[in-house]
Chain A
Amino acid sequence: MATAIRSDHLRKVYPGSTSGSAALEDLTLEVPSGRVYGVIGRNGAGKTTFVRITATQLALTSGRATVLDHDVATEERAIRAQVACVPQESRPLYFLNVEEVIYLYLKMRGLDRVEARRRTRDALDELALTEYRHRSVSRLSGGLRRRTLCAMVLASDAELLFLDEPTTGLDPIARRQVWEAIRRATHERRTILLTTHYLDEAEELSARLALFERGRLVLEGTPEDLRSRVRYPYRVTVLGSFPQEELASYGRVSPIEGGVLVFTREPEARDLARTALERGNRVSMGPVSLEDVFLEVVGRSIEEEAPPTEVEW
């Protein structure tokens, strides 16, 4: 499969960074083309820095990155001709109406009037914005503004779309409308680099995912890969009383309301579920969610980062 984005030992240190720490460190990854590639991680993990470097908005410090086979440091013009971006925390120009935001963006990219009109109409329809098309952006809710920006780039002719937290602030129905539009874009063989804090969204849309932590790539693969690579790939929920000392031998135990959640391996998960059922507990079992993976990996990183809690006097 062709590669849309390739980064090789990418490093970024912001000029004037007081800590001197890198926002991205030794980042090597490949984003396949024609699919959604999700990037997840905590705030400050380096997701936006990666998007901005590959979208040619930010210079890299060292290493190399190519986008659609063009070098981001030397062939920006060739890249820019084929990409579109919804930056994090961006807002549409408030004095335009919804239709103008999309139509004028397309015209600005060089599309002719007829093509821009057609694509605008389709995007308005696709993202359920037709009824708001004459409404000024200044009178839209935050969610509708975000949706308008998504419609704007999805309507473009770009081959690669950068969506940096595109659904922040959207209600569940609007999020799903954006998801549908993103899926349709991949049917047209377009590549989408998506960053998000919604792990269900990342899991739902992404063919592959990268988990960033403190500027480094800590996990990469399909959602199934990521689940299988954690220490405990299964979760068992046991409701009712169960001896704590027995549970500890299965894996990691987290108390929840009315019972416990046990993260463990598959054979142990089956064994625990059977035992708990025999003792009359209510049990549910399944593979861990992406959120569980995230919490385990990032949680481990936070523990490593934390200073020792016991102080010797």
Chain B
Amino acid sequence: MTERHRLRSFGTLIQINGLIPIRTQPLYLVNLIASPLSFLFFIWIVSRGADLAFGLMGGMVLTMLSVGTGLQSDLTHYRHDLKFQDVVVASPVEAPVYVAGMAFSELVYSLPGLAVFVILFVYYGFATWTSVVVLTGVLLLVWSFATAFAFTLATYFQDVRETWMFSPIFSLVLTVLPPVYYPIYYLPSWAQLAARFSPTTYAAELVQGAVGLVPISWSTAVVDWVVLVGFTAVLFVIAGVKARWKDP
């Protein structure tokens, strides 16, 4: 397969799993931003607007993670119920092209939701060069590791119902319990230590620091970036080694 063919396959997968479903069922768009907007609304009401910024940052991280949970369900459904993955395996389309196409198609869903958050982000005056760069980098890393994690898991699930069970746990462990929607210093010290096991803690710390919500030193920022990039790289390696493109 040449690079041009790969690009064509990639674009077609985005069309198949992203653009066409949105055309046929626009409610998919609402589905993906329902949770982040609910959290934002809740935080806005309870804090009387004071913690809105935390809601915005957390909402963007959660939206990117939702891409991963959505991908996990879609891949499992396509693999077991429709046997679409078997059709793709027995074709020139390579596994990385399939995963990238599917991951970008999920991103297409999340773009309108993300746009809502970006508009609020700019409206409330958080947009500076630094915050935009940090936010973009962090969100891309969150999307990347969520994608690698989702793909690996999806190749092990035997039924789409298993993903329904797993998705809320995924959200709970990665967005609700870690300090994504609030500063880490709200947690008791033992919980702060536990939160360090979640990659989203580092992501949230970076974006919260970039917009001035929490103080962040250069050394902490460097450690946060290293952990995030390292974690993403490890998940990609695991996906490469453990994900089952061909059944054992």
Which A residues fall within an 8 A CB radius of B? 15, 52, 55-59, 76-77, 80-81, 83-96, 100, 104-105, 107-110, 112, 136, 156, 158, 162
Contacts A95-B24, A109-B92, A110-B1; A58 near B247 (Cβ below 8 A): yes
**Binary CB contact string for chain B from 55 to 84 against chain A (1 if under 8 A, 0 otherwise):** 000000000000000000000001001111
Known contacts A107-B8, A108-B12; is A77 also within 8 Å of B94 by CB? yes
Return the chain A residue nearest B17 by Cβ: A93
Q: A95: which of B1, B2, B25 is its contact (CB, 8 Å)?
A: B25
**CA gap between A235 and B12 in the complex, in Å:** 55
Contact yes or no, A108 B88, CB < 8 A: yes
Docked CA distance A96–B84 (Å): 13
Q: Does B246 contact A89, Cβ atoms closer than 8 Å? A: no
- Choice from A90, A110, A158 contacting B8 with Cβ under 8 Å: A110
In the complex the two chains form, is B5's CB within 8 Å of A93's CB? no
- B122 touches A (CB below 8 Å): no
- Tell whether A57 pairs with B15 under 8 Å between CB atoms, given A80-B91, A95-B20, A110-B5: no
Interface of B is mostly: helix
- Known contacts A85-B91, A87-B87, A96-B16; 8 further A-B pairs (Cβ under 8 A): A57-B246, A80-B91, A91-B83, A95-B20, A95-B24, A104-B12, A108-B88, A112-B8
Residues of A within 8 A of B15 (CB): 104
* Interface residues of chain A: helix, strand, loop or mixed (majority): loop
> What are 12 of the A-B contact pairs (CB < 8 Å)?
A59-B248, A80-B89, A84-B90, A84-B91, A85-B87, A87-B83, A89-B83, A94-B82, A95-B25, A104-B15, A108-B91, A110-B2
Set of chain B residues within 8 Å of A110, measured between Cβ atoms = 1-2, 4-6, 8-9, 92
- Given known pairs A57-B247, A110-B8, the reply for A93 and B94 (CB within 8 Å) is no
Q: Of A52, A90, A112, which is within 8 A of B84 by CB?
A: A90
* Cα(A172)–Cα(B92), bound, Å: 33
Task: Flag if B83 contacts A59 (CB, 8 Å).
Answer: no
Q: Is the CB of B20 within 8 A of A109?
A: no
CB distance from B175 to the nearest CB of A (A): 28
- Do A83 and B90 touch (CB < 8 A)? yes
**A93, B90: Cβ atoms under 8 Å?**
no
